[in-house]
């Protein structure tokens, strides 16, 4: 039951066989795996955090130390009762010593809980890295479709600009022969000028989205394969948001991170409290001390024994650290509850995004067709004198707005599918392959076209050259 979302959500993207097999999206993902610095940062952070456990384990392993000392000493006798020495006599001696000591912790409550805490920290670091890998899948797809959406906006607004330019030219001609008023000319010019200004912003937004993709994959990609004209639209299966919420509660990475953070804080309470408890260690040493001079000695010492350390009072520091750890644990518990509620809300929103996205695509596609029909009717009405110039301009604007909404709704639907699987914790490279299969790989860098909307060059705005 737990793995059911992995299979069922795949049906959302594979409900209809792909017409052509594209590979550009998955190729960019493979490039991002080696070039994306966000993923690289997460990898190094994971590697650094993993070292927490061997550091904690080292407290239970033997500690071997060696030291040596060489000292030249001058001794002046101010008075003496020795028959070998006299007052005011100076002697010199060279002292040499070395010691090798071995310490082995027999038991330490604090070291034990530090090791238990390190286990959780390592698990949290691994979970964070796995989350970064999943996020890369989503970020590559999102950045890719952001570029396509920006290109579609440019294409639609290019067509709008040309249409408004044609309307403006026609209004001028009609004004010259007395068939329209100066107001009609000014309205047409206003729409034309606005479309030109809008197009400037569209092209800037397209350049920004291209750069955003380049940041992830490490290079600029001038041409991207568009979505096929027809993509499968399938509702989530199982058709129950509660099912997806249950999957997210088990495998959502944000929720798991919050849970591990809370568990870490709970174990830190034991770490701080264990400072009250005694520790036992086995200690042994061997050393030699060679004192030169007239009264010098040369001796070697051997020692072995148990050392018991019993903390009694540290000025209230440990009491304070325990209270601090308890407050931190309560903070992390509250954060976990907040993440749990937020995750449930996000899953339900994503589920609704998939289901409503299907309806939106169909509605906006119909809206484009209806706007085309309305525009043709308005143009005919204008020619016979029952519609105004403003009516034509409004109908044109409605058409291009509907067209942009339709294009965007397709990307929103796919993003909602990927988001739902990401929140469930099951988004993988295989899902990106399924999305990649929805792209058109025929070399035609254009989305589906509607009648009366010619293909345009993205830079110059001129009509695209016909295919040879």
Query: Which tens digit of pLDDT belongs to each residue from 90-137?
Result: 777 888 999 999 999 999 999 999 999 999 999 999 999 999 999 999
Q: Where are the alpha helices (DSSP H) in 221-293?
A: 241-251, 253-273
Determine if the peptide bond prior to 238 is cis (ω within 30°): yes
User: Which tokens is 415 given?
Assistant: 């993003």
Interior angle at CA 456, CA 454 and CA 460, nearest 5: 145
Report pLDDT for 296. Answer: 66
Which run of H or E residues covers position 352? helix 317-383
Report pLDDT for 239. Answer: 86
Using CA atoms, how far apart are residues 287 and 163, in angstroms rounded to an integer?
97
Residues 164-180 have pLDDT tens digits of: 898 899 889 988 888 87
Tell me what the mean pLDDT of segment 132-145 comes to.
97
Topology of 4-58+110-275+316-436 in CATH?
Outer membrane efflux proteins (OEP) (1.20.1600)
Give the count of alpha carbons within 13 A of 58, CB side only: 7
Report pLDDT for 14. Answer: 42
Report pLDDT for 340. Answer: 97
Closest residue by Cα to residue 312 from 272, 279, 356, 276:
276
Q: What share of the chain in percent tops pLDDT 70?
A: 86
Inter-CA distances, 231 with 16, 275, 352, 403, 447, Å: 7, 63, 19, 17, 12
Residues 266-309 have pLDDT tens digits of: 999 999 999 999 999 999 999 999 887 655 678 899 999 999 99
Interior angle at CA 253, CA 251 and CA 259, nearest 5: 90
Give the count of alpha carbons within 13 A of 174, CB side only: 20
Residue 228 DSSP class: P
Ranked by mean pLDDT, the top range of 71-85, 279-293, 453-467 is: 279-293
Closest residue by Cα to residue 253 from 32, 422, 29, 6:
422
Using CA atoms, how far apart are residues 416 and 421, in angstroms rounded to an integer?
9
Q: Where are the alpha helices (DSSP H) in 385-449?
A: 389-424, 429-436
The answer on pLDDT for 218 being more than 80 is yes
Confidence of residue 442 (pLDDT cuts 50, 70, 90): low
Residues 418-439 have pLDDT tens digits of: 999 999 999 999 999 999 999 9
CB of 13 within 8 A of CB of 415?
no
Within the chain, which residue ranges are assigned CATH 1.20.1600.10? 4-58+110-275+316-436
To the nearest whole number, what is the mean pLDDT of the chain? 87
Q: Please report where in the chains the tokens 């594209």 appear, as a residue.
A: 22
The answer on pLDDT for 156 being more than 80 is yes
Report pLDDT for 237. Answer: 82
The helix-helix angle for 389-424 and 182-217 (nearest 10°) equals 20
User: Which tokens is 275 given?
Assistant: 């400072």
Which run of H or E residues covers position 107? strand 90-108
Give the count of alpha carbons within 13 A of 142, CB side only: 14
The answer on pLDDT for 85 being more than 80 is no
Strand partners, 18: none
Report pLDDT for 452. Answer: 43
Report pLDDT for 20. Answer: 42
């Amino acid at each position: 039951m737990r793995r059911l979302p992995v299979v069922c959500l795949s049906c959302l993207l594979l409900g209809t066989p792909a017409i052509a097999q594209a590979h550009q999206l998955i190729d960019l993902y493979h490039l991002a795996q080696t070039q994306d610095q966000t993923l690289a940062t997460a990898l190094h952070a994971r590697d650094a955090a993993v070292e927490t456990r061997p550091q904690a384990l080292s407290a239970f392993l033997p500690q071997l130390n060696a030291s040596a000392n060489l000292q030249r000493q001058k001794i002046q006798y101010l008075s003496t009762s020795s028959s070998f020495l006299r007052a005011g006599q100076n002697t010199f001696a060279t002292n040499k010593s070395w010691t090798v000591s071995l310490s082995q912790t027999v038991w330490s409550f604090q070291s034990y809980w530090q090791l238990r805490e390190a286990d959780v920290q390592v698990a949290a670091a691994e979970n964070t890295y796995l989350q970064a890998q999943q996020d890369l899948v989503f970020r590559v797809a999102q950045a890719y479709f952001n570029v396509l959406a920006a290109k579609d906006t440019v294409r639609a607004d290019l067509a709008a600009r040309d249409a408004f330019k044609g309307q403006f030219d026609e209004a001028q001609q009609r004004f010259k022969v007395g068939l329209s008023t100066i107001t009609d000319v000014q309205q047409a010019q206003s729409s034309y000028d606005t479309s030109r200004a809008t197009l400037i912003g569209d092209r800037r937004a397209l350049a920004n989205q291209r750069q955003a993709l380049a940041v992830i994959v490490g290079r600029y990609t001038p041409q991207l394969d568009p979505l096929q004209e027809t993509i499968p639209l399938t509702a989530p299966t199982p058709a129950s948001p509660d099912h997806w919420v249950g999957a997210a509660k088990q495998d959502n990475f944000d929720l798991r991170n919050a849970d591990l953070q809370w568990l870490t804080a709970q174990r830190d309470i034991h770490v701080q409290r264990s400072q009250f408890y005694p520790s036992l260690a086995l200690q042994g040493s061997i050393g030699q001390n060679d004192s030169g001079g007239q009264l010098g000695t040369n001796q070697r010492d051997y020692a072995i024994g148990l050392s018991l350390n019993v903390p009694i009072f540290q000025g209230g520091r440990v009491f304070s650290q325990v209270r601090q750890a308890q407050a931190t644990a309560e903070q992390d518990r509250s954060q976990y509850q907040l993440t749990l509620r937020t995750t449930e809300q996000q899953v339900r929103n994503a589920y609704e995004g998939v289901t409503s996205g299907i309806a939106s695509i169909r509605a906006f596609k119909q809206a484009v067709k209806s706007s085309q029909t309305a525009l043709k009717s308005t143009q005919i009405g204008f020619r016979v004198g029952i519609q105004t110039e403003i009516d034509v301009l409004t109908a044109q604007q409605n058409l291009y707005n509907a067209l942009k909404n339709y294009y965007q709704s397709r990307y929103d639907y796919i993003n909602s599918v990927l988001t739902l699987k990401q929140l469930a914790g099951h988004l993988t490279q295989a899902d990106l392959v399924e999305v990649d299969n929805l792209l058109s790989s025929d070399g035609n860098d254009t989305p589906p076209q509607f009648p009366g909307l010619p293909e345009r060059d993205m830079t110059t705005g001129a009509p695209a050259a016909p295919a040879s």
